Structure 1
Amino acid sequence: MASGRGWIRQQHIDQLHRQIAERVTKPVPPFPLSSKQAQQQMSFPTVNSAKAVPLKNGYARKLYASKKSQCSQSSYIDKIPSEIVLKIFSYLDTVSLLCVGSVNKRFHELSKDNLLWYQICSTLPPMKNSRWKPKHMDKVAEILNTSSLQEKPPGYWKKTFINEILANRSNKITQILKSVKHSMGIPNNIEKVVKMSGLHWALTFKDTSGRVKIIKQMDVFFRHTSLTLFWGCLLWPSLESVTTLQLHGITPVLLDKWMPQTKNGPQRLSLIAEYNLSNFRSSRIIGQDAMVDVLLLYPGLLLGVWKTTSEIAFVMATLHYDQILEISTLGSADRPYIIPPHVPVLDDIDPNYGLHGYQLHIDMHSGPRTYLCGTFRNLFCLRDYIRNGFLRLSAISMKNNRQHAPLVGKVGLMWKTPTFEGSIQNCFMMDVTVLDEAEKPFWCFSSPVSLHPSKNSESLYDFMGQSFTLKYEDSEGKVKTELVWMKETEEYYIINLVLYLSTKKVNSWFGTNY
Structure 2
Amino acid sequence: MATGRARLLHQHWLGVQALRLPLGGLGAIPGSIPGFRKGPGVQPAAASAPWRQHAPCERHRRKASPHCPVLLDSLPSEILLKILSYLDATTLLCTGCVNRRFYHLANDNFIWIRIYSTAFSPKRCNWRIDPVEKTVASMNSLSVEDKEAGYWKKEYIAKRIASVKAALAQILKLVNPYTGLPAKTKEALRISGLGWVIILKEKSGKEHVMEHADLFINHSSVMVVWYSKNWPCLATLSTLDLCGVTPVLMDWHKPPIKNGPRWPSLVAKYSLSNLTDSTLVGCDRFVRIFHLNPGLLVGLWKRAEELAFVMANLHFHHLVEKSTLGSATLPYELPPHTPLLDDSSEYGLHGYQLHVDLHSSGTFYLCSTFRNLFTKQGYIENGYVKLIVIHFQNSTEHLPLVGKVGLSWRTDVFDGCIKSCSVMDVTLLDEYGKPFWCFSSPVCMRSSANPSDGPYFVGPTYCIDYEDSTGTVHVELVWIEETEEYFIVSMVLYLSIAKINHWFGTQY
Regarding TM over 0.5, the answer is: yes
Of the structure 1 ranges 177-186 and 434-443, higher mean CA displacement relative to structure 2 is found in 177-186
Aligned to 2:172: 177
RMSD, matched Cα: 3.1
Aligned to 2:193: 198
Aligned to 2:443: 449
> When the two structures are aligned, how many residues end up with a matched partner?
451
1:474 corresponds to which letter in structure 2? D
2:407 corresponds to which letter in structure 1? L
2:250 corresponds to which letter in structure 1? L
CA distance, structure 2, for counterparts of residue 142 and residue 511 of structure 1: 58
Aligned to 1:112: 107
The secondary structure found in structure 2 opposite 1:161 is helix
1:179 CA drift (Å) = 5.2
2:302 corresponds to which letter in structure 1? K
Are 2:385 and 1:397 aligned? Answer: no
1:68 corresponds to which letter in structure 2? P
Q: Does structure 1 retain, via aligned residues, the 8 Å contact 2:352–2:429?
A: yes
CA distance, structure 2, for counterparts of residue 256 and residue 316 of structure 1: 30
CA distance, structure 1, for counterparts of residue 305 and residue 238 of structure 2: 16
Aligned to 1:377: 371
Are 2:308 and 1:313 aligned? Answer: yes
Of the structure 1 ranges 427-436 and 101-110, higher mean CA displacement relative to structure 2 is found in 101-110
Change (3 A) 1:317 1:73: farther
Q: Does structure 1 retain, via aligned residues, the 8 Å contact 2:348–2:376?
A: no
Aligned to 2:162: 167
The secondary structure found in structure 2 opposite 1:270 is strand
Aligned to 2:230: 235
Change (3 A) 1:388 1:291: same
Are 2:409 and 1:421 aligned? Answer: no
Change (3 A) 1:230 1:464: same
1:286 CA drift (Å) = 0.7
2:191 corresponds to which letter in structure 1? M
Per-residue CA distance 1:67-117 (angstroms, 9 max, x = gap): 426657899554432212212222222122222222222222222222222
Aligned to 1:186: 181
Aligned to 1:68: 56
Q: Does structure 1 retain, via aligned residues, the 8 Å contact 2:174–2:182?
A: no
**Superposition pairs for residues 22-37 of structure 1, below 5 Å?**
none
**Superposition pairs for residues 54-133 of structure 1, below 5 Å?**
67-68=55-56, 71=59, 77-124=72-119, 126=121
**Superposition pairs for residues 476-487 of structure 1, below 5 Å?**
476-487=470-481
CA distance, structure 1, for counterparts of residue 96 and residue 345 of structure 2: 65
1:439 to 430, 433, 442: 433
1:341 CA drift (Å) = 3.0
1:304 corresponds to which letter in structure 2? G
Aligned to 2:20: none
Are 2:405 and 1:411 aligned? Answer: yes
1:267 corresponds to which letter in structure 2? R
1:343 CA drift (Å) = 1.6
Change (3 A) 1:217 1:73: farther
The secondary structure found in structure 1 opposite 2:153 is helix
1:504 corresponds to which letter in structure 2? A
CA distance, structure 2, for counterparts of residue 142 and residue 383 of structure 1: 71
CA distance, structure 1, for counterparts of residue 400 and residue 60 of structure 2: 73
Per-residue CA distance 1:434-456 (angstroms, 9 max, x = gap): 11112211111111000111145
Aligned to 1:27: none
CA distance, structure 1, for counterparts of residue 76 and residue 54 of structure 2: 27
Change (3 A) 1:152 1:413: closer
Q: Percent of pairs identical after alignment?
A: 47
2:503 corresponds to which letter in structure 1? W
CA distance, structure 2, for counterparts of residue 309 and residue 185 of structure 1: 44
Change (3 A) 1:142 1:271: closer
Are 2:501 and 1:507 aligned? Answer: yes
Are 2:346 and 1:352 aligned? Answer: yes
CA distance, structure 2, for counterparts of residue 106 and residue 97 of structure 1: 13
1:303 to 294, 298, 312: 298
Aligned to 1:29: none
CA distance, structure 2, for counterparts of residue 305 and residue 363 of structure 1: 26
The secondary structure found in structure 2 opposite 1:384 is coil
Aligned to 1:495: 489
1:228 corresponds to which letter in structure 2? M
Q: Does structure 2 retain, via aligned residues, the 8 Å contact 1:299–1:447?
A: yes
Change (3 A) 1:443 1:159: closer
1:122 CA drift (Å) = 3.6
Q: Does structure 2 retain, via aligned residues, the 8 Å contact 1:354–1:510?
A: no
1:362 corresponds to which letter in structure 2? V
1:262 CA drift (Å) = 2.5
Which structure has the higher relative contact order (CA within 8 Å, separation 6+)?
A: 2
Per-residue CA distance 1:317-372 (angstroms, 9 max, x = gap): 11111111211121111111111233223244x35355222222211111222111
Structure 1 unaligned blocks of 5 or more: 7-64, 129-133
Are 2:347 and 1:337 aligned? Answer: no
1:400 corresponds to which letter in structure 2? N
CA distance, structure 2, for counterparts of residue 322 and residue 144 of structure 1: 43
CA distance, structure 2, for counterparts of residue 183 and residue 376 of structure 1: 11
Aligned to 2:462: 468
Change (3 A) 1:168 1:377: closer
Per-residue CA distance 1:109-141 (angstroms, 9 max, x = gap): 22222222233334446489xxxxx97454357
CA distance, structure 2, for counterparts of residue 148 and residue 442 of structure 1: 50
Are 2:424 and 1:430 aligned? Answer: yes
Change (3 A) 1:208 1:420: same
Per-residue CA distance 1:377-420 (angstroms, 9 max, x = gap): 22222232212101111111212222221111111000111232
Q: What is the TM-score normalised by the length of structure 2? A: 0.80
1:279 CA drift (Å) = 4.8
Change (3 A) 1:457 1:268: same
Aligned to 2:19: none
**Superposition pairs for residues 240-259 of structure 1, below 5 Å?**
240-257=235-252
Structure 2 unaligned blocks of 5 or more: 8-52, 64-70, 124-128
CA distance, structure 2, for counterparts of residue 104 and residue 74 of structure 1: 20
Q: What is the TM-score normalised by the length of structure 1? A: 0.80
CA distance, structure 2, for counterparts of residue 453 and residue 95 of structure 1: 56
Q: Does structure 1 retain, via aligned residues, the 8 Å contact 2:172–2:185?
A: no
Change (3 A) 1:371 1:126: same
Q: Does structure 1 retain, via aligned residues, the 8 Å contact 2:461–2:478?
A: yes
